[in-house]
Amino acid sequence: MDGVGSNPKMHSQSKAFHFFELALRLCVIPLTLSSLLVIVSSNQTSDLYGTVEFNNLSGFKYLISINAISGVYSLGSVFISKSRCFKMYDWVLFVLDQVTTYLMVTSGSAVSEILYLAEKGDREVSWSEVCSYFGSFCQKTKVSLGLHFVALLCFIVLSLISAFRLFSKFDAPSSSLANMEENGK
């Protein structure tokens, strides 16, 4: 009986591991909510160039949507991971953690590209930089993107944790099975 329940050291490590996972899931909620609120409030008006706001660019709308989805999923996953009846569905958390992480990567990348163009412009296609005219908007967007990437780092770690939890339930193939397959060929 080498199970987790019979070994006090492994049981305490398992509890610490679960606590760390829960803390990460809880950290994601304020990070995504803050990122969402900062970018929504990042409107700015210039007498010379008009108004810029988050809904002018689809990349910002995508970031807002993914932040909302990620925050709601993280809240739901806190309850799922605490519930004993969902322990056999570790694969669901694994898949959803992976999907959420990839969505956060894509939305962060989209806004990073927009910010790069706003900061530097692109002379080849005659796009001028705009952050010198809309500095407050660019700064708030950078803060929002920074919060988003911190939440993304949390989800990367959560993806690794859920992968470890899921795949540690399976035994590695035995060497005798591998030898039998080689001899059978």
Q: How far is CA 152 from CA 16, 119, 122, in A?
A: 22, 23, 28
| Residue 52, φ and ψ in degrees, nearest 5 | -120, 135
What is the predicted pLDDT for the residue at 35? 96
| Average pLDDT per consecutive 10 residues, the chain (185 residues; last block may be shorter) | 50 76 95 96 78 85 97 92 72 93 97 90 80 88 97 96 84 65 63
What is the predicted pLDDT for the residue at 97? 95
| pTM of structure | 0.81
Task: Assign 3-class secondary structure to 111-155.
Answer: HHHHHHHHHHCEHHHCECCCCCCCHHHHHHHHHHHHHHHHHHHHH
Q: How far is CA 103 from CA 42, 70, 149, 160, in A?
A: 22, 9, 12, 16
What is the predicted pLDDT for the residue at 12? 61
What is the predicted pLDDT for the residue at 3? 45
Rounded-to-integer distance, Cα 60 and Cα 145, Å: 10
Block residue for tokens 């953690």: 97
171: which residues sit within 8 A by CB, 6+ positions away? none
Q: Are 44 and 137 in contact (CB under 8 A)?
A: yes
Residue 44, both tokens: 């700015």
C-alpha neighbours within 13 Å on the C-beta side of residue 30? 4
Residue 144, both tokens: 């929002």
- Rg of the chain on CA atoms, in Å: 23
| Residue 168, φ and ψ in degrees, nearest 5 | -75, -10
